Amino acid sequence: MSTDDTTSARLLEQLRRQSADPRRRILFTGATIVTMDPELGVLHDSDLLVEGDSIAAIGPNLTAGAAEGVAGAVVVDASGTILAPGFVDTHRHAWEAQLRRIMPDVDDLGGYVMSTLAGYATVYRPQDMYVGTKLAALTAIDSGITTMLDFSHNSRTREHSDAAIEALRDTGIRGVHASMGPHFGEWDRQWPADLTRLKDQYFSSDDQLLTLRMATLATDEIAGPVLAYGPELARTAADLGIGVSVDAVFGTASSEAVRSWAEHGILGPDVTLIHATGLTSEAWKVMGESGTTVALAPTSDAQIGLETAIPAVDEALAVGIRPGLSIDVEVALASDMFTQMRALLAIQRMRAVNAAYGTGGDLSRITTHDVLDFATLQGARTNGLGDVTGSLTPGKKADLLVVQAEDLNNMPLNDPIGTLVLGSDARNITGVLVGGRPRKWNGHVLDVDLPALRGEVGASRTYVLNTPAG
Structure confidence at residue 14 (pLDDT): 81
Structure confidence at residue 68 (pLDDT): 58
Burial 229-255 (b: 16+ CB within 10 A, else e): bbeebbebbeebebbbbbbbbbbeebb
Taken in order 433, 437, 441, 445, is the CA torsion positive or negative? negative
Structure confidence at residue 409 (pLDDT): 97
Structure confidence at residue 202 (pLDDT): 97
Looking at residue 355, its amino acid is A
Mean pLDDT of 441-455: 96
Is domain 104-382 in CATH 3.40.1210.10, yes or no?
A: no
CATH number for 5-86+389-445: choose from 2.30.40.10, 3.30.450.30, 3.30.70.1140, 3.40.50.300: 2.30.40.10
Structure confidence at residue 222 (pLDDT): 82
Structure confidence at residue 9 (pLDDT): 82
Mean pLDDT of 85-99: 98
Where, residue-wise, is CATH 3.20.20.140 in the chain?
104-382
Summary mean pLDDT of the chain: 95
Backbone angles phi, psi at 449, to 5 degrees: -90, 95
Considering only CA atoms, which of 258, 181, 184 is closest in space to residue 215?
A: 181
pLDDT surpasses 60 at 291: yes
Is residue 64 very low, low, confident or very high in pLDDT (cuts 50, 70, 90)?
Answer: low
Mean pLDDT of 449-462: 98
Structure confidence at residue 67 (pLDDT): 53
Task: Please state whether beta strands 429-434 and 243-250 pair in parallel, antiparallel, or not at all (unpaired).
Answer: unpaired
Mean pLDDT of 307-331: 97
Report how far residue 150's alpha carbon sits from residue 258's, in angstroms, rounded to the nearest whole number: 23
Structure confidence at residue 90 (pLDDT): 98
Where, residue-wise, is CATH 2.30.40.10 in the chain?
5-86+389-445
Is residue 284 very low, low, confident or very high in pLDDT (cuts 50, 70, 90)?
Answer: very high
Using an 8 Å Cβ cutoff, are 234 and 200 in contact?
Answer: no
Minimum mean pLDDT among 161-165, 190-194, 206-210: which range? Answer: 206-210
Structure confidence at residue 20 (pLDDT): 75
pLDDT in tens, 351-361: 999 998 888 77
Mean pLDDT of 252-273: 98
Structure confidence at residue 362 (pLDDT): 78
Considering only CA atoms, which of 241, 212, 214 is closest in space to residue 229?
A: 214
Q: HSE-up of 421 (CA within 13 Å, CB side)?
A: 24
Task: Please state whether beta strands 25-34 and 74-77 pair in parallel, antiparallel, or not at all (unpaired).
Answer: parallel
Report how far residue 330's alpha carbon sits from residue 399's, in angstroms, rounded to the nearest whole number: 24
Mean pLDDT of 80-84: 98
Considering only CA atoms, which of 341, 318, 326 is closest in space to residue 273?
A: 326
- Its pTM stands at 0.96
Task: Please state whether beta strands 81-85 and 87-92 pair in parallel, antiparallel, or not at all (unpaired).
Answer: unpaired
Structure confidence at residue 155 (pLDDT): 97
Cβ atoms < 10 Å from Cβ of 67: 9
Structure confidence at residue 11 (pLDDT): 82
Structure confidence at residue 381 (pLDDT): 98
Q: How large is the greatest C-alpha to C-alpha distance in the chain, in angstroms?
A: 66
pLDDT surpasses 90 at 23: no
Minimum mean pLDDT among 10-14, 101-105, 109-113, 353-357: which range? Answer: 10-14
Is residue 3 very low, low, confident or very high in pLDDT (cuts 50, 70, 90)?
Answer: low
- Beta-carbon contacts of 158 under 8 Å, excluding residues fewer than 6 positions away, are 188, 190, 194, 197
Which stretch of DSSP H or E encloses residue 152?
strand 145-152
Considering only CA atoms, which of 68, 75, 85 is closest in space to residue 29?
A: 75
Structure confidence at residue 66 (pLDDT): 54
Mean pLDDT of 295-310: 96
Report how far residue 42's alpha carbon sits from residue 27's, in angstroms, rounded to the nearest whole number: 18
Taken in order 108, 114, 120, 122, is the CA torsion positive or negative? positive
